[in-house]
Chain A
Amino acid sequence: MKLKQYPFLSLGVILILAILSSILIGSVPIPIQSTWQVLGSLFSSNRLINATHVAILLNLRLPRTLLMLLVGAALAGSGCAYQGLFRNPLADPYLIGAASGAGLGAVIAITLHWPANLLGYLSVPLAAFIGSALSVGLVMQLARVGLDTPITTLILAGVAVSSFATALTSLLLINASGELRRALVWLVGGSTLSGWFPVLAASPYILIGLVTLLTTGHQLNVLQFGEEQAQQLGVPVKRVRILVVLAATLATAAAVAFSGIIGFVGLIIPHILRRMWGADHRLLLPLSMLGGAAFLLIADIAARSLLAPQEIPVGILTALTGAPFFLFLLQKSHYPKE
């Protein structure tokens, strides 16, 4: 049996292993048996369990696992959608300004000191979404030359708007003296938020965004022939573009709002999967979401355990592994495929 013939099966297995490892591995060792008991107690009325273990598993590891899973799926899924929409393998959430805009929005929201309840948490991704949508809108507007959007101007506009948003974010962080450390850690992708609030707050945005993206596979496929041909083939190009940008930006914004800037997931994961299983977006979109979730979970496990008890922000880890790996792929792609 060749794994390559079963993309969903192989990625699904990797994801399940990653989820289990993420629940099992941590600074406090919890035996597997006890883990099963605690997880089992969710569905039964077993009271013979260790209260500390319950607290660690249910209030720390499980929500963190779910958050990383959602964020990974959101980043890789929207990265895949942006790449399909702009027909450029470099168009990830960071390059076209979605992430830095979201960062700016989120930092503005954080420095406003909203109350730390669910409502306060829900407002952070909303602010991130507004910031993200504004900067993507600005990038697309700036990149437009006449009737179309050339890739080079898109990237240039993305870099310029991103830098501007990042500079504003830094300015706000310097002024927000008390929050500085927390915000800085957040900015490099260290999830300092724990518990269920972030998961509950991020999931509606991410799920709506990703489910919407999953419906656009066929339209993105036709769009690979360019916007002109797509329109001549009957694709409502403007509607597809707005829908994809909104959905991908929504998912990205929610991910950034609760886990900070985690780079390279949205770039690398779709890239690898495209090389393995082709660029049919009806497959590539769901595969990217699975792969992104698994990758970020594994990165997060490494971030927690490499220098334990100290945690490395996961964003640093994804960049440290992602950037060289990406260069390796670029190097390899100089040779003809197969």
Chain B
Amino acid sequence: MLKVNSLSVRLNSTFRLENISLQVGGGKICGIIGPNGAGKTTLLRAISGILPTTSGEIYLDKKPLHTLRADERAKYLAVVPQSAFLPPAFTAEQVVMMGRTPYLNWFGQTTIKDEQITQEVMSQTQTLNFADRLINQLSVGEQQRVLLARALAQDTPILLMDEPTSHMDLKYQIELLNLIQSICREKQKIILVVLHDINLALRYAEQLILLKDGRIIMQGLTQDILRPEILTTVYELPINLYLDKSQKIFYLGN
């Protein structure tokens, strides 16, 4: 169980996260949604420990994470970033191996165990067949799977993901989220995902955190939060709901 107690962050004079408290259990994907500028990415960065917080505590069960050093914290919490910039120097396999950094010494010497784990997560994420290719030459979908593999190689109970499906074709979005869902269930990982697309949130997240202006508006089960009246207020756009054949609900503006 990941527990965040009254976390506050002051990014600059105009933006802050105010008094964020949340609890996320393992085995079920928890989505973070909200309009642009709500603080979704900031929240992930703050939980991952790279932003100075003005107050708040972060616990994994009884273990405080906010007091840990970077190399210790990286054994409990891994982040899948948006694949914005990737250095051209490394192959997919080298990148995944970097996920082992918290367990390596200063020189980055790897052991057989590190290599085994790297192979394992690469086969899990289906990245083995381009293991030797340079990461910047891969497609966005492949890059995102490599970054997921790197986070899995960190072997942490907590995974944070920042819009893992952005810039992807629909097919790859579904593939990646299916993969994340199966990993989440299989390994009982605690997974927090920032999602831009409400439809995807509906389909994959079992619980949601709805953010706006740096505050949590609501959190709870997905079906309780994805309601037209709530979304219309938060997104300031009339949003309706439709049912498809499988009784899944899809939201659309107007």
Contacts and interface: CB of A to CB of B under 8 A. Distances in A.
A215 B74 contact: no
Most A CB within 10 A of own CB, among B12, B52, B74: B74
A229 B79 contact: yes
Contacts of A224: 87, 89-90
Tell me whether chain A's interface is mostly helix, strand or loop, or mixed: loop
Given A147-B51, A219-B108, A222-B98, A228 B75 contact: no
Query: Size band of the B side of the interface?
Result: 35 or more
A228 B108 contact: no
Interface in A214-239: 215, 217-219, 221-222, 224-226, 228-229, 231-237
A233 B102 contact: yes
Contacts of A31: none
Contact of A236 (B51, B70, B81): B70
A105 B107 CA distance: 33
Interface of A: 87, 146-147, 215, 217-219, 221-222, 224-226, 228-229, 231-237, 278-280, 282
25 contacts: A147-B52, A215-B106, A217-B107, A221-B90, A225-B98, A228-B45, A228-B81, A229-B79, A231-B49, A231-B50, A232-B50, A232-B79, A233-B101, A233-B102, A233-B150, A234-B71, A234-B73, A234-B154, A235-B70, A235-B71, A236-B69, A236-B70, A237-B70, A279-B89, A280-B90
A301 to B, nearest CB: 33
Contact of B108 (A87, A221, A237, A279): A221
B90 A218 contact: no
A233 B73 CA distance: 9
A226 B85 contact: yes
A218 B107 contact: yes
Contacts of B72: 234
Sort A-B residue pairs by CB-CB distance and give the 4 closest, nearest first: A218-B108, A234-B74, A279-B89, A234-B102
B87 A225 contact: yes
Interface string B200-221: 0000000000000000000000
Contacts of A229: 79, 81
B121 to A, nearest CB: 14
